[in-house]
Structures are given as C-alpha cells and as structure tokens.
Amino acid sequence: MAISTRDGGKVAGKVAFITGAARGQGRSHAIRLAEEGADIIALDIAAQIDSVPYAMATEADLQETSHLVEKAGGRCLPIKADVRDIHALDDAVRAGVAEFGGIDIVIANAGILFFSAETETLEDSARKFADATDVMLTGVFNTLRVTQQPLIDRGTGGSVILISSTAGLRGMLDGTGGLSGYCASKHALVGLMRGYAKLLGKHKIRVNTIHPMGVASPMLVNPEFEAFAAEHADVVDVSPRLVPVNLLEVGDVSAAVLWLVSDEARYVTGISLPVDAGVTCA
C-alpha cells in the first residue's frame, strides 16, 4: 500500500460514493482515494446473484474494505445495498450525506461477469442477459439518478466515473445471454456518460468512462473462470496488445481513477479513457 498523503492529498476533504466496493477494483479505488484524503461511502450487494458463476463478495469483504480505508487514514461508511434497487441506493446516498455532509465523487463500479460457451436454454439466456443489464446498466443509471442532486447541491463541482471495459469499445461476445448483456451494458455506459456530461457540465461536474482490459480481481481470478479460459481461449483472447501484459493490477485502474477525479483533470469530461495496454487501438 502506498504511503498516505492525506494532508496534501489530491482529493483532500472530498467524499466518494463507490459501488461494488467490497473487493477488487472497488476496494482498490476506495483505498487509493482514502490515501489521498477522501472519505468513502462504500456500497456493495455483499451477496450472491444466482446466475453468476463465481463466488461474489460477502459482508465480511465489505467490512474489510472499511477497515482498509480507515487504515489508509479515511473515514468509511460501509453500506450493504443492491444497485438494482433504486430506493436502497437513495437511502444509501442519504445516509452518506448525513454522515459526511455531501458527495463530491461518484464511481459506478459494480459489475458482474458471465462466462459459458455451453448451450443455454432460452430461459437461462434471457435471465443472464437481464441480470447483466440490471446490474451494469440499470444499476449505473440508478447510481447516477440518486447522486445527481447531492453532487449539484455540494456547489463545488464534482467528478463521476463509470467503470466500463474494453468490451465497451471493441466488443466481446460468445453468443450467450450473460456476455451479451455485459457487452451491451458496457457500450451503453458511453452513451449515459456523454449525456450526463452535457447535463451536469454547467454545475462543474465532470463525467467520464474508464475502459480497462482484464484486471486481476476476483471477477477473473477464480477457479471457474480459469477453467473456462483453459477451454475457450478464443473467447477470452484480447490480442494483440501493444504492451505485453496479460492482466492489469487493480491499482493500475485506481491510478486512472485518481487522476480523473482530481483537479489535475479538472477540464476533462465526456471522454472514454482506455486503460488497456493498447488493446482497443491495435
């Protein structure tokens, strides 16, 4: 972990609302922003979605994120809530504003991944597509909807990041419902971002997307995905890469997050930022 620079941090005094914060990228973003002076509202479903093929985060994971944020010098409010439930999200935002006084940064990070090249029934295909889009498109809209006014009310501008994927720029599909929903959602985030960048720009609130390639997080580093990748290399292959790397570390994405939410990027809005070793331009 990097040495805390909270006193002169790049986001000192800011409050960040982060979804999918119990582990992986979300946890990494929370810790990195805490090191740079932010307090964190850390939200996660902390439960299993039946159609997801790997073990999802738990309440213990969410509490560990809170512990690590506090170890980094930040205050943390961990909240168990499902991004698919707009009223639960609204309650979480209200609790965060009551605790910390407002919200300056929003990182819509919650996501799930499906991988199965096996034949699906129509019902399975439809269910997985719906689960994917419910979490990664409807859930992102819900996050934007309930944080929009608190960001405006803060009166000092703000920054919103939607975590997309290289699949949201170049596509990734195996014909199954879950991966179709993933690809469609990650593309759709670009449209949401551009619209909200125009809507919120007059309030000095910036909105951007980040598009990582594969990241070494529990979404990919798990026995189920490793078994799938061994049998279906053609589906998971993202060659060619301009920089020879197989997986990013979560901190690589957090570094981009920190830059975009800081004043160093104060005039950067409406962009799709790849963090992908050149995958999308190769």
C-alpha dihedral (242, 229, 254, 264), degrees to nearest 10: 30
| Claim: this prediction has a pTM higher than 0.85 | yes
Nearest to 147 by CA among 205, 194, 186, 189: 205
pLDDT at 282: 66
pLDDT at 174: 81
How far apart are alpha carbons 56 and 93 in whole angstroms? 23
pLDDT at 6: 60
Six token digits for residue 98: 């009551």
How far apart are alpha carbons 152 and 227 in whole angstroms? 46
Supply the Cα-derived Rg of the chain in whole angstroms: 18
Per-residue pLDDT of the chain in tens (282 residues, 90 and over written 9) = 334 456 679 999 999 999 999 999 999 999 999 999 999 999 999 999 999 999 999 999 999 999 999 999 999 999 999 999 999 999 999 999 999 999 999 999 999 998 876 678 999 999 999 999 999 999 999 999 999 999 999 999 999 999 999 999 998 888 899 999 999 999 999 999 999 999 999 999 999 999 999 999 999 899 888 887 777 776 666 667 899 888 999 999 999 999 999 999 999 999 999 999 999 986
pLDDT at 281: 85
Six token digits for residue 91: 């309650």
How far apart are alpha carbons 109 and 219 in whole angstroms? 12
Is 267 tagged catalytic? Answer: no
pLDDT at 225: 84
Q: Among 3.40.50.2000, 3.40.50.720, 3.90.700.10, 3.40.190.10, what is the CATH number of 6-281? A: 3.40.50.720
Number of helices (H), then strands (E), belonging to the chain: the values are 9, 7
pLDDT at 241: 83
Q: HSE-up of 243 (CA within 13 Å, CB side)?
A: 9
Per DSSP, helices labelled H in 155-222 are 177-200
* Cβ neighbours for 1, distance < 8 A, ≥ 6 positions apart: 31, 35, 71, 72
The domain locations on the chain are 6-281
Beta carbons of 173 and 182 less than 8 angstroms apart: no
